[in-house]
Amino acid sequence: MYNKRSLTNLANLSKEEIKKFIDSFDVLLTDCDGVLWLENQVYDGSPQALNSLRDLGKKIFFVTNNSTRHRDEFLKKAQKMGFTCEKEEIMTTSYLAANYLKEINFDKKVYVVGSKGITSELEEVNIKYSPIGPDILDCDLMTYIENVKLDPDVGAVVVGFDQHISYPKMLKAASYLNDPNCHFVATNTDERFPIGIGGIVKPGSGAVVRSIETCAERKPFVIGKPETYITEAIKKCCNIDPKRTLMIGDRCNTDILLGTRCGYQTLLVLSGVTNLEDVRKWKESDKKEYQDLVPDFYLGKLGDLLTLIN
Amino acid sequence: MYNKRSLTNLANLSKEEIKKFIDSFDVLLTDCDGVLWLENQVYDGSPQALNSLRDLGKKIFFVTNNSTRHRDEFLKKAQKMGFTCEKEEIMTTSYLAANYLKEINFDKKVYVVGSKGITSELEEVNIKYSPIGPDILDCDLMTYIENVKLDPDVGAVVVGFDQHISYPKMLKAASYLNDPNCHFVATNTDERFPIGIGGIVKPGSGAVVRSIETCAERKPFVIGKPETYITEAIKKCCNIDPKRTLMIGDRCNTDILLGTRCGYQTLLVLSGVTNLEDVRKWKESDKKEYQDLVPDFYLGKLGDLLTLIN
């Protein structure tokens, strides 16, 4: 029953099987947007479901590719929505990007293409950074290029979600990265956010990162899922037995793939990006890259777990 | 001597061998930036060299991935620099993008992420388009998303070089492209322009295109080199015998690769992006993808050909 990539619907399991499933993990990593909430809207029943698992003694980590908030803001949001949560349990890519630079004893300045989520985490580890926000082309491009000043103190470029992405930012980032000693860190490469009302596509960090890696002609060190740096950070504060760890997510090419890569059990909830039809196609494929996207379990939404537990 | 990918230095050939080389082609496709000029600076001797080949009866096409100028502007620039040139010989990616839409009888409106080079060519074939220029985020992102209006007449997105690339443009392009019936055309995917003074990297169309294809989760139809649409267009106005056609360029992953793909002879000039050291590495590789980048011939700069011919 618990074969890897069995794509078992948790809702179809017997009471006894559910108990066996719940008993099979000690540590739980959960994605947030699309699993616990959608932007500022909490999903019905998800706080109760997660809190129940905590009451059963599970160690919980909130693992998000979102780089736009400091952990304190994140904590406040989660608690306000009804989740029991501690700061140490929150693994955002902005926190981890700052953490990564601290680990390598980085002592220069960071050129940030991103938001306050990143700069506030850099501040917390005493790393200097360039100003963020709008940086638009307000003159002829040739004039701009002739007059642009690069900051000689910059030794790293960190790229995340930036709603003020612009040509001057791309130009500066790529120019700094032309020095092979300049570090290049990306928070995550999510293509887009879950599509909301009106069919409007909200581009994700991935669109910003790809533009910069293209003109920089370099690949960044990527912090976020499906890359596994995030789990290295968790291992430092918590013993993890991969087989007794569950990764919950709504997106197979980030959450589930991370779980597969780390040898965790995986649970897909259908309240976000990935739909079951796609997963079934991947399950039929004989390519490893598709097989790696297939979760062990799925469920309509996290809140449904509450009924199953009780 | 003329074996494919021989990487022969034209400057080392005897008078007789040069004559044989010149006699070996009837049609010549030349890249512009990095071969004939760098931005607004003509390269010494290149007009004379190209005009000499024309005098010898060669049919010449100016084949550029640049999408920022209308052919008329381009013609004026080339003629002012001393090149003999006719409008019909100029193949810009903006002209070809407009031409492509005309060929498929496109009758809706184009959302353009690009410059006047594109819109002026669309005008010439009577295709409607959205306004270009700055389109910045001037409010909170959620407010923007709630209020953004998509134009129901848009049926294609054309992306080229856009120094006013912004998050709202990425969002609109990706939202239009969420309709699978919306055409997606990119002028070219050049990563960056040749690096000029001060180590400033000037991002190319490729950085803009990659950002949009990432959040659109779709690949565009690419007009420019190394894709071969450009040669389809040339074939319509000129008989081409691939073996008797020469492609000249400064960039192996666009110019030379196009030549290889089409079975043309290829000549790399070292006055632009690609350096000889890289080419020699590729020549030693046993991978086809690297071999395809290796030209038959190379030369310091196009102007040197003049001395060799005379």
What is the predicted ipTM? 0.92
Separation in Å, CA of B214 to nearest CA in chain A: 5
- Tokens (6 digits) for B295: 């030209």
Q: Which residues of B touch A (CB under 8 A)?
A: 39, 134, 136-137, 141-142, 145, 148, 150, 162-167, 170-171, 174-175, 177-178, 191-192, 195-196, 199-204, 206-208, 210-212, 214-217
| Proportion of chain A above pLDDT 70, given as a percent | 98
Distances (CA, A) of A24 to A238, A248, B108: 17, 14, 57
Residues B56-115 have pLDDT tens digits of 999 999 999 999 999 999 999 999 999 999 999 999 999 999 999 999 999 999 999 999
**Among A114-123, A192-201, B41-50, whose mean pLDDT is lowest?**
A192-201
CA distance A17 to A1: 9
Cβ of B203 within 8 Å of Cβ of A215? The answer is: yes
Q: Is B225 annotated as a binding residue?
A: yes
Q: Quick one: pLDDT at residue B3?
A: 43
Using CB atoms, pick whichever of A145, A200, A210 lies closest to residue B202: A145
- State the DSSP code for A42: E
Give strand pairing partners of A60: A28
Residues A79-134 have pLDDT tens digits of 999 999 999 999 999 999 999 999 999 999 999 999 999 999 999 999 999 999 99
Distances (CA, A) of B303 to A189, B66, B299: 45, 22, 9
3-state secondary structure A54-87: HHCCCEEEEEECCCCCCHHHHHHHHHHHCCCCCH
Reported as a pLDDT band with limits 50, 70 and 90, residue B39 is confident
A131-147 per-residue burial string, b: 16 or more CB within 10 A, e: under 16: ebeebebeeebeebbee
| Proportion of chain B above pLDDT 70, given as a percent | 98
* Residues in contact with B199: Cβ distance below 8 Å, sequence separation at least 6, in sequence order: A150, A175, A178
Q: Is A31 annotated as a binding residue?
A: yes
Q: Quick one: pLDDT at residue A1?
A: 33
- Active site includes B26? no
Residues A211-269 have pLDDT tens digits of 999 999 999 999 999 999 999 999 988 889 999 999 999 999 999 999 999 999 999 99
Selected for mutation to probe chain B from A132, A169, A212, A214 (highest B CB count within 10 Å) is A214
Cβ of B192 within 8 Å of Cβ of A206? The answer is: no
* Residues in contact with A139: Cβ distance below 8 Å, sequence separation at least 6, in sequence order: none
CA distance A167 to B192: 12
Cβ of B174 within 8 Å of Cβ of A203? The answer is: yes
Reported as a pLDDT band with limits 50, 70 and 90, residue A4 is low
Separation in Å, CA of B19 to nearest CA in chain A: 39
User: How many residues does the structure list for chain B?
Assistant: 310
For residues B128-148, give the mean pLDDT: 95
Residues B245-264 have pLDDT tens digits of 999 999 999 999 999 999 99
Q: Quick one: pLDDT at residue B73?
A: 95
Tell me if the bond preceding B134 is cis, omega within 30° of 0.
Answer: no
CB A54 within 8 A of CB A82: no
Separation in Å, CA of B85 to nearest CA in chain A: 26
Does pLDDT of A70 surpass 50?
A: yes
Distances (CA, A) of A310 to A56, A249, B288: 12, 22, 60
CA distance B170 to B174: 6
CB B173 within 8 A of CB B216: yes
- State the DSSP code for B297: E
User: Which has the closest alpha carbon to A248: A25, A82, A55, A69?
Assistant: A25
Cβ of A215 within 8 Å of Cβ of B192? The answer is: yes
Cβ of A215 within 8 Å of Cβ of B206? The answer is: yes
Map tokens 């500022």 to a residue: A40
- Tokens (6 digits) for A65: 């590719």
Mean pLDDT taken over chain A: 94
Reported as a pLDDT band with limits 50, 70 and 90, residue A199 is confident
CA distance A176 to A184: 9
Cβ of A201 within 8 Å of Cβ of B178? The answer is: yes
In chain B, which residues have their Cβ closer than 8 Å to the Cβ of A162? Answer: 167
Q: Quick one: pLDDT at residue A121?
A: 97
A182-201 per-residue burial string, b: 16 or more CB within 10 A, e: under 16: bbbbbbbbbbbbbeeeeebb
Selected for mutation to probe chain B from A193, A210, A253, A278 (highest B CB count within 10 Å) is A210
**Among A99-108, A189-198, A289-298, B128-137, whose mean pLDDT is lowest?**
A189-198
CA distance B107 to B152: 13
Map tokens 């919950």 to a residue: A248
Residues B217-235 have pLDDT tens digits of 999 999 999 999 999 999 9
- Active site includes A162? no
Mean pLDDT taken over chain B: 94
Interface A:B, Cβ pairs < 8 A: 123
Q: Quick one: pLDDT at residue B190?
A: 92
Separation in Å, CA of B157 to nearest CA in chain A: 14
Q: Most distant CA pair in chain B: distance in Å? A: 71
User: Which domains does chain A possess?
Assistant: 8-65+226-309 (3.40.50.1000), 95-222 (3.40.50.1000)
Q: Is A288 annotated as a binding residue?
A: no
Q: Is A250 annotated as a binding residue?
A: yes
Rg, C-alpha atoms of chain A: 20
| Strand (E) or helix (H) holding B219 | none
Reported as a pLDDT band with limits 50, 70 and 90, residue A197 is low
Closest chain B residue to the Cα of A174, Cα to Cα: B201
Separation in Å, CA of B161 to nearest CA in chain A: 10
Reported as a pLDDT band with limits 50, 70 and 90, residue A60 is very high
